[in-house]
């Protein structure tokens, strides 16, 4: 399919959405930015503008925070029962599922990802977390505590919503990241100001329409498209925001922490990674080759958990690396809306330059390209799935998050799990790791030695709404998903009564 | 063979003397109401180690009554950290006497001393783990969806008088399994040791008294399953029965439990 005309494959409903006016959702109304400014949204396969959306800045953030505060303190939401919050969330999940084909097309066009990934991963990942968290809405309990002080006491805790939360989300799974953020906050009873990534604002706007259709009270979810430096920074720094949640780079995560310090708002961060995949000689090689290939090439490597450091025992290294390289060479690269495409373009010109910059730096420093290594075609932001080897631990391709389809393959000749773990942990990140072996002892002993929020055994990039997700070290603060996410959006109040 | 001779020559301090080993009811060491006794033998030699008071229904009745009084008495006012301290004290005394307790298990039920000594960390670990639980028993405040402002919460309260029937294959550990959580939660216990191996539970009873367990909180009534055990399982004033043993007596025990 011709990349330039691929967007003509959009269905009628996605086309109609694209042609609509893309405004800010504030206090239950769609409005323009106060400044009247708009910015263009691009198809990363062509670099062509496909829509223009309202550009929020600090003034709009301020209005949205006021709307969220009012909704939290005095609006109908503050009196909505846990049961009814759960029902609204379930309704929103149903609406997302009913409109999944249309939204997947929007997501694919905006982000560049293959339509089948958008439809089979991003959309279910969005409505399933809403349904999972809808169940928690009625189960956010405190405890009654037996105190040991003399006398008669009734002491207990209440788990209350933290308040107005700012949520800043990334462009790699735009809708799913929005759903991961809003679902626990809604379950807890918070109100939200959501800022989607400037690269991929469209599916969040469609989400806003469905939030209104589901019947959430005005001001509960406010959605403001805009840039990180302006709208995002204003949200992170806003004195009336009780908590900010951010998913993105470690570099920006640190800026968020600084911005949040003004009113000491609570902060949760889901940041970068440089996740190792470690293959032992007894692993099922077919499974390991397929799994470690997908670990790095899925979503064009634009996953914070991407398996970007591939360690394999010397005795299987050549076979494994060749297998991954063969897979890389076979991957069909193309426009996201082409149903044949297995990976699409990178999301933006900036990201394209970043990834190709790392490829150049790696080769300059002596890394060898086994396969890939350059752009695809001369249009859009396509990069070849790439395997590098002959790296050393000081190279930027080993130390830094590339966030592209680039894996470094490294042999090890060791059976000592402490030493293997030390190599795997030799990174400032700690988001995820995968271990490939048939030996239960090796798998679980190494799992304990890895400093990462998630360890997979004989799989990679597996997630479930019930599994806490987040990072050690500079990969973040807090855990999303599972009950741990509810903890991020609640405060605990201790009540002690002297009964006399 | 060297080993049986070694056992023949071994005299455990708890088995010295001919005094009947009495049962522990309400903090006192008493004879069976019937006056009956049974012999506890060393399975390696057939030697009679001790003559033990044989509890039956009447003794179980007395023990349950003591446990009920204790449950309703000052024990119910003990603060979590006091129960925690008591369990830590018990752990300390069990640790101090561990060699003696494990050798008593060995001569009474036959397991090699290597095994009975080898469970030391496990047994002490259980006691100390339950001591920590004493201060960590919380109910929940419930996030209900009722109209209006209705505050609801749960309390986790001790179930009451617990009947505990233990097997002979690891008497010391089995006692701790039953007594540890009961003391942590604030229950009271009537423990019926296995007729094959009643001595370690009785010796443990002495240690519990030394540690400061209040009268009636732990009662130990040796006897046979068909009489004492059955009476305990079907006693109308026992709130819970905990049994470790074979499948068929467990079913009988359940079948005999009065309908509630």
Tokens standing for residue A320: 């494994």
Write the DSSP symbol of residue B55.
B
* Mean pLDDT along residues B118-129: 96
Of the pLDDT bands very low, low, confident and very high (cuts 50, 70, 90), residue B259 is very low
Residues of A with catalytic annotation? Answer: 270, 304
Interface test with B, best of A84, A138, A141, A159 (most B CBs within 10 A): A141
CB contact under 8 A, B146 and A81: yes
Name which of B79, B137, B145 is nearest A81 (Cβ-Cβ).
B145
Quote the CA–CA distance of A16 and A10 in Å, as a whole number.
Answer: 10
Residue contact B135–A146, C-beta within 8 A: yes
> Residue A351 corresponds to which tokens in the numbers above?
């990201």
State the smallest CA–CA distance between residue B148 and chain A in angstroms: 9
pLDDT tens for chain A, residues 1 to 500: 566 677 678 999 999 999 999 999 999 999 999 999 999 999 999 999 999 999 999 999 999 999 999 999 999 999 999 999 999 999 999 999 999 999 999 999 999 999 999 999 999 999 999 999 999 999 999 999 999 999 999 999 999 999 999 999 999 999 999 999 999 999 999 999 999 999 999 999 999 999 999 999 999 999 999 999 999 999 999 999 999 999 999 999 999 999 999 999 999 999 999 999 999 999 999 999 999 999 999 999 999 999 999 999 999 999 999 999 999 999 999 999 999 999 999 999 999 999 999 999 999 999 999 999 999 999 999 999 999 999 999 999 999 999 999 999 999 999 999 999 999 999 999 999 999 999 999 999 999 999 999 999 999 999 999 999 999 999 999 999 999 999 999 999 999 999 98
Residue B147: its chain A contacts at CB < 8 A?
81
Asked if A74 reaches chain B (Cβ–Cβ under 8 Å), the answer is no
| SS3 state at B144 | coil
- Is the pLDDT confidence value at B1 over 90? no
- Model's pTM, two decimal places? 0.91
Q: CA-nearest residue of chain B to A494? A: B141
Q: What pairing do the DSSP bridges indicate for beta strands A153-161 and A221-223?
A: unpaired
Nearest to A148 among B81, B143, B155 (CB): B81
Strands A142-145 and B139-142: antiparallel
Q: Which residues pair with A143 in a beta bridge?
A: B140
A490 vs B contacts (CB less than 8 Å): none
Interface test with A, best of B145, B155, B158 (most A CBs within 10 A): B145
What residues contact residue B158 under an 8 Å CB cut-off, 6+ apart? B71, B76, B185, B186, B187
Instruction: Name which of B81, B138, B145 is nearest A143 (Cβ-Cβ).
Output: B138
The C-alpha of A13 sits at a distance from chain B's nearest C-alpha, in angstroms, of: 38
- Residue A33 CA to residue A54 CA, distance in Å, equals 6
* Confidence category of residue B197, pLDDT binned at 50, 70, 90: very high
Burial A117-140 (b: 16+ CB within 10 A, else e): bbbebbbebbbbbbbbbbebbbeb
The chain B residue lying nearest A158, using CA atoms, is B141
Strand order in the sheet with B152-153: A490-498, A153-161, A142-145, B139-142, B152-153
Contact A276, A393 (CB under 8 A): no
> What phi and psi values does residue A30 have, to the nearest 5 degrees?
-90, 120
Q: What angle do CA A46, A50, A53 make, to 5 degrees?
A: 135
The residues near A8 (Cβ < 8 Å, ≥ 6 apart) are none
Query: CA angle at residue A414 from A411 to A417, to 5 degrees?
Result: 110
> Rounded CA gap, A485 and A183, in Å?
9
The verdict on A496 touching B (C-beta cutoff 8 Å) is no
Residue in chain A lying closest to B135 (CA): A146
Query: Using the beta-carbon criterion (under 8 Å), do B139 and A143 form an inter-chain contact?
Result: yes
- Asked if A78 has any chain B CB less than 8 Å from its own CB, the reply is no
Residue listed under structure tokens 């004493």: B134
How close is the nearest chain B Cα to the Cα of A99, in Å?
Answer: 30
Helices B171-185 and B199-211: crossing angle in degrees, nearest 10, is: 40
Distance CA A347, CA A47 (A): 10
A23, A82, B208 from B196: Cα distances, Å: 82, 57, 22
- Chain A contact for B147 (CB, 8 A cutoff): yes
- How large is the angle between the packed helices A100-111 and A82-98, nearest 10 degrees? 70
B79 touches A: beta carbon within 8 Å: yes
Please give the residue of chain B at the shortest CA–CA distance from A137: B143
* Cβ neighbours of B137 in A, within 8 Å: 146
pLDDT band at B252 (very low <50, low <70, confident <90, very high): low
Q: Measured between CB atoms, does B141 come within 8 Å of chain A?
A: yes
Measured between CA atoms, the residue of chain B closest to residue A149 is: B79
Comparison of pLDDT for A301 and B250, the residue scoring more: A301
Q: Inspect the interface and report whether the beta carbons of A143 and B140 lie closer than 8 Å.
A: yes
Q: Which residues of A touch B76 (CB under 8 A)?
A: none
Do B178 and B191 form a contact (C-beta atoms < 8 A)?
yes
The Cα–Cα gap between B36 and A292 comes to 74
CA A73 to chain centre: 29
Closest Cβ opposite residue B80 in set A143, A148, A150: A148
Q: Are A198 and A227 in contact (CB under 8 A)?
A: yes
Find how far residue A238's CA is from the centre of its chain: 23
Binary contact (A82, B139; C-beta < 8 A): no
Please tell me the predicted confidence (pLDDT) of residue A497: 97
ipTM of the complex: 0.81
- What strand order describes the sheet that includes A191-195? A29-31, A24-26, A221-223, A191-195, A164-168, A243-247, A266-270, A476-477
Q: Is B91 helix (H, G, I), strand (E, B) or coil?
A: helix
Tell me which residues of chain A, numbers 393 to 432, contact chain B at a CB-CB cutoff of 8 Å. none
CA A234 to chain centre: 21
Three-state SS string across chain A, please?
Answer: CCHHHHHHHCCHHHHHHHHCCECEEECCEEECCCCCCEEEEEECCCCEEEEEEECECHHHHHHHHHHHHHHHHCCHHHHCCHHHHHHHHHHHHHHHHHCHHHHHHHHHHHHCCCHHHHHHHHHHHHHHHHHHHHHHHHHCCEEEECCCCCCCEEEEEEEEECCEEEEECCCCCHHHHHHHHHHHHHHHCCEEEEECCCCCCHHHHHHHHHHHHHCCCCCCEEECCECHHHHHHHHHHCCCCCEEEEECCHHHHHHHHHHHHHHCCEEEEECCCCEEEEECCCCCHHHHHHHHHHHHHHHHHCCCCCEEEEEEEHHHHHHHHHHHHHHHHHCCECCCCCCCCCECCCCCHHHHHHHHHHHHHHHHCCCEEEECCCECCCCCCCECCEEEECCCCCCHHHHCCCCCCEEEEEEECCCCHHHHHHHHCCCCCCCEEEEECCCHHHHHHHHHHCCCCEEEECCCCCCCCCCCECCCHHHEECCECHHHHHHHCEEEEEEEEECC
């Amino acid at each position: 399919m011709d990349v330039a005309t691929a967007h003509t494959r959009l269905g009628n409903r996605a086309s109609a959405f694209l042609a609509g006016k893309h405004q800010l959702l504030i206090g239950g109304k769609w409005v323009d930015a106060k400044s009247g400014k708009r910015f263009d949204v691009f198809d990363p396969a062509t670099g062509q503008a496909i829509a223009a959306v309202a550009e929020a800045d600090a003034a709009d953030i301020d209005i949205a925070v006021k709307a969220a505060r009012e909704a939290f303190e005095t609006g109908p939401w503050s009196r909505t029962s846990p049961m009814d919050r759960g029902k609204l969330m379930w309704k929103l999940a149903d609406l997302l599922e009913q409109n999944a084909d249309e939204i997947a097309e929007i997501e694919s066009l905006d982000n560049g990802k293959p339509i089948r990934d958008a439809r089979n991963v991003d959309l279910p990942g969005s409505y399933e977390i809403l349904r999972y968290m809808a169940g928690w809405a009625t189960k956010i309990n405190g405890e009654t505590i037996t105190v040991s002080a003399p006398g008669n006491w009734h002491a207990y805790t209440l788990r209350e919503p933290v308040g107005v939360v700012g949520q800043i989300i990334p462009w790699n799974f735009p809708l799913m990241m929005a759903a991961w953020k809003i679902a626990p906050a809604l379950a807890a009873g918070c109100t939200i100001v959501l800022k989607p990534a400037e690269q991929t604002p469209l599916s969040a706007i469609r989400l806003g329409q469905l939030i209104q259709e589901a019947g959430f009270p005005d001001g509960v979810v406010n959605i403001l498209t805009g840039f990180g430096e302006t709208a995002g920074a204003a949200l992170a720094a806003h004195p009336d925001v009780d908590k900010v949640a951010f998913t993105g780079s470690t570099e920006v995560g640190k800026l968020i922490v600084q911005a949040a310090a003004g009113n000491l708002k609570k902060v949760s961060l889901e940041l970068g990674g440089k996740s190792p995949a470690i293959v032992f000689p007894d692993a099922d090689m077919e499974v390991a080759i397929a799994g470690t290939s997908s670990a790095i090439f899925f979503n064009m490597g634009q996953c914070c958990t991407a398996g970007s450091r591939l360690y394999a025992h010397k005795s299987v290294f050549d076979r494994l690396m060749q297998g991954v390289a063969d897979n890389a060479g076979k991957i069909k690269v193309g426009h996201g809306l082409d149903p044949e495409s297995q990976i699409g373009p990178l999301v933006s010109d900036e990201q394209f330059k970043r990834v190709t910059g790392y490829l150049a730096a790696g080769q300059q420093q002596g890394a060898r390209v086994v396969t890939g290594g350059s752009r695809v075609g001369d249009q859009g932001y396509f990069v070849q799935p790439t395997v590098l080897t002959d790296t050393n631990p000081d190279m930027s391709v080993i130390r830094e998050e590339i966030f592209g389809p680039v894996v470094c393959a490294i042999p090890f000749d060791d059976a000592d799990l402490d030493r293997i773990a030390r190599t795997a942990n030799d990174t400032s990140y700690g988001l995820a790791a995968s271990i490939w072996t048939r030996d239960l002892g090796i798998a679980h002993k190494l799992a304990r030695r890895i400093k990462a929020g998630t360890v997979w055994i004989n799989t990679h990039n597996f997630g479930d709404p019930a599994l806490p997700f987040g990072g050690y070290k500079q990969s973040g603060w807090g855990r999303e998903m599972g009950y741990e996410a509810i903890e991020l959006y609640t405060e605990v109040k201790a009540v002690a009564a002297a009964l006399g | 063979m060297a080993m049986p001779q070694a056992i023949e020559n071994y005299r455990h301090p708890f088995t010295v003397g001919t005094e009947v080993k009495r049962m522990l009811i309400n903090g006192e060491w008493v004879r069976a109401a019937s006056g009956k006794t049974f012999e506890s033998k060393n399975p390696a030699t057939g030697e009679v180690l001790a003559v033990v008071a044989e509890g039956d229904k009447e003794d179980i009745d007395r023990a349950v009554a003591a446990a009920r009084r204790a449950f309703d008495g000052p024990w119910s006012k003990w603060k979590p950290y006091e129960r925690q301290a008591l369990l830590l004290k018990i752990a300390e005394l069990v640790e101090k006497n561990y060699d003696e307790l494990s050798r008593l298990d060995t001569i009474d039920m036959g397991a090699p001393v290597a095994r009975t000594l080898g469970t030391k960390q496990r047994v002490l670990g259980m006691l100390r783990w339950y001591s920590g639980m004493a201060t960590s028993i919380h109910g929940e405040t419930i996030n209900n969806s009722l109209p209006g402002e209705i505050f609801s919460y749960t309390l986790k309260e001790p179930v009451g008088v617990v009947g505990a029937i233990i097997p002979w294959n690891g008497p010391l550990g089995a006692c701790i399994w039953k007594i540890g959580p009961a003391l942590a939660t604030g229950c009271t216990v009537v423990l019926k040791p296995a007729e094959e191996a009643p001595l370690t539970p009785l010796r443990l009873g002495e240690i519990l008294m030394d540690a400061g367990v209040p009268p009636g909180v732990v009662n130990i009534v040796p006897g046979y399953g068909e009489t004492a055990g059955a009476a305990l399982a079907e006693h109308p004033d026992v709130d819970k029965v905990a049994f470790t043993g074979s499948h068929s007596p467990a079913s009988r025990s359940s079948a005999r439990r009065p309908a509630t």
